[in-house]
A and B are shown apart, each in its own frame.
Chain A
Amino acid sequence: MMRPFLSSTVLTLALAVPLTLPAQRKVDVRRAVKPDVYVRLNGAFGDLKVIGWDKDTLVLTGTLPNSARLDPMGVGGSGPPAGGMKFYIEGPSDEGATGSLELRVPFGATVWAKAGSARMDVRAITGGLDLNVIGGMITVTGNPRELNVESMDGSVEVTGSPTWMRVKTATGGVTIEGSSTDVGITTVSGPVVLRGGAYERTRIESVTGDVTFGGAIARSGTLTIDSHSGTITMQFGKTASVDVDATTITGTILNSVTTRRPTPGREGRGAELALSLGTGDARATLRSFKGNIQLQR
């Protein structure tokens, strides 16, 4: 789990002095770090790019409003490579923040970033990512070992193959293109789309958001989708091998995959359908209260 600690040797530093420039203030922080450095970045910024690279150096550049205050900790100019660093950006308003930052860290770093309304774009990190915004957008490209994303109304897009992934939104949409061993997605009303490669253990929960699963379920894998009123769309590949159990309490099931027809649910309402494709190596459970379920090729 991603609850690492900052190295006890982390230094609190003289750079924690507010700088004031006329309109925009340049940020340029450089520090030798360990390959698996843990970095926390929290506060008022509008744009953040995080890029993994093959150097054991952390570089934070960009601009902040002159009214913003940057407090870096653990950024000693010399000494052994830092195992942990922390930045706090204080501005007049988290949600109206305009600062733009670029953070370069070793591939294997773990990055924790949190902002009010912001655009976060993260690339080429193989360590861990813990990203949190209220609004805006989070884009992750690459194969982090762990990916935890939380957003209220900001959208989330992931392209790659995080081993472990959790995404939570209130109204923001979620789009995953890739594969994963362990996926958990919850949203209240945002649309959810998963596609690309194989997903081993996947659980998706929505209240009103539509859910589309267009990936493959890995051999012996499981997929569970629960939605109260969103439409659940399951798109099967030609070689799909899966047992499917679909239930909607008051909605309908449209099966375009086999000739099997759904049966009426309890008390004649809703619909239920169980079918097996291939040798049934995986299992998909699709449940909706009043949303429709569509099974497609």
Chain B
Amino acid sequence: MTDHLTFDELNDLADRLLQEPRLTEAQEHVRTCAECAGDLAGLRTTLDDLGSLEGDMAPPGDLWAEVKASIEAGKVASLGADTRPARPGWWMTPGRAAAAALLLIAGSSAATALLLRDVAPPAIAVDSDGGSAGVTWQVAERGYLASVLDLRAQLAAQADKLSPTTIATIERSLATIDVAIAEAREALLRDPANAALPELLASNYRQKIDLLRRATQLASST
């Protein structure tokens, strides 16, 4: 077996869902492939962190102030040097994209909280293109996620004021955006020097925040 494990296989391996004979092959591959072993370790760490999340999802006050200022300043990071070796186009398999999306959707709040804690998403280096020196994509993303958390909490508190039809429309659209975020984010992690990806990912995040904001306003005015 010479090919790397797929994202699905890595997830199944981490979740102990992989069946024989693929299980033995995958375990042997991980023993000899540092890259897949690293990915598997990362997945297991993430799952452990998700499992140990505390009930309180609120972002730290100082972080919220920081990211709010960052958002208001309109900072959008641009990417520079590679920080992770790219495996050509690996994000393109539907299974991986779906798995990533599923992870994001299923853990929308949990993952957001996770990203806001010490366990940050993989860092993506940023250059000073466009005069945004010192601003990292990671910081920008934490800002977006803090906004999402805040708006999600507001919406949840007022959801009973919206009709089921409206809530269904909103949730469908949020799911669509989440899939797009997951796909773009995975691609960005693998190709951080791609100049178009952060713009597309930022666009998706803006869509999510704006939709949540509008839904919250609808609920509060109903």
By a beta-carbon cutoff of 8 Å, the part of chain A in contact with chain B is 42, 94-95, 114, 116, 134-135, 150, 152-153, 168, 170-171, 186, 188-189, 205, 207-208, 226, 228-229, 247, 249-250, 266-269, 287-290
What CA separation (Å) do A150 and B214 show in the bound complex?
Answer: 8
Instruction: Report A-chain residues with C-beta under 8 Å of the C-beta of B199.
Output: 226, 287
18 contacts between A and B (CB under 8 A): A95-B166, A114-B221, A152-B169, A186-B207, A189-B176, A207-B180, A208-B176, A226-B200, A228-B203, A247-B196, A249-B194, A266-B193, A266-B194, A267-B86, A267-B191, A287-B200, A289-B180, A290-B183
Q: Is the CB of A205 within 8 A of B206?
A: yes
- With CB as the reference atom, state the residue of chain A lying closest to B180: A228
B130 contacts the other chain (CB 8 A): no
Instruction: Report A-chain residues with C-beta under 8 Å of the C-beta of B210.
Output: 168, 186
Hey, what's the 0/1 contact readout for B189-209 against A, CB within 8 Å counting as 1? 001011011011001101100
**DSSP class of B's interface residues: helix, strand, loop or mixed?**
helix
- How many B residues face the partner with a CB closer than 8 A? 34
Q: How far is the CB of A172 from chain B (nearest CB, A)?
A: 10
Q: Is the CB of A228 within 8 A of B92?
A: no
B89 contacts the other chain (CB 8 A): yes
List 10 additional A-B contacts (Cβ < 8 Å) besides A134-B169, A152-B173, A186-B206. Answer: A95-B163, A95-B165, A116-B163, A171-B173, A228-B183, A249-B187, A266-B193, A267-B191, A287-B199, A289-B183
Interfacial residues of chain B within 145-163, with CB under 8 A of chain A in the complex: 163
Instruction: Report A-chain residues with C-beta under 8 Å of the C-beta of B207.
Output: 186, 188, 205, 207
A188 CB contact (under 8 Å) in B163, B166, B200, B211? B211
Q: Is the CB of B86 within 8 A of A205?
A: no
B184 contacts the other chain (CB 8 A): yes
Hey, what's the 0/1 contact readout for B160-186 against A, CB within 8 Å counting as 1? 000101100110110011001001100
- With CB as the reference atom, state the residue of chain B lying closest to A205: B203
What CA separation (Å) do A186 and B187 show in the bound complex?
Answer: 23
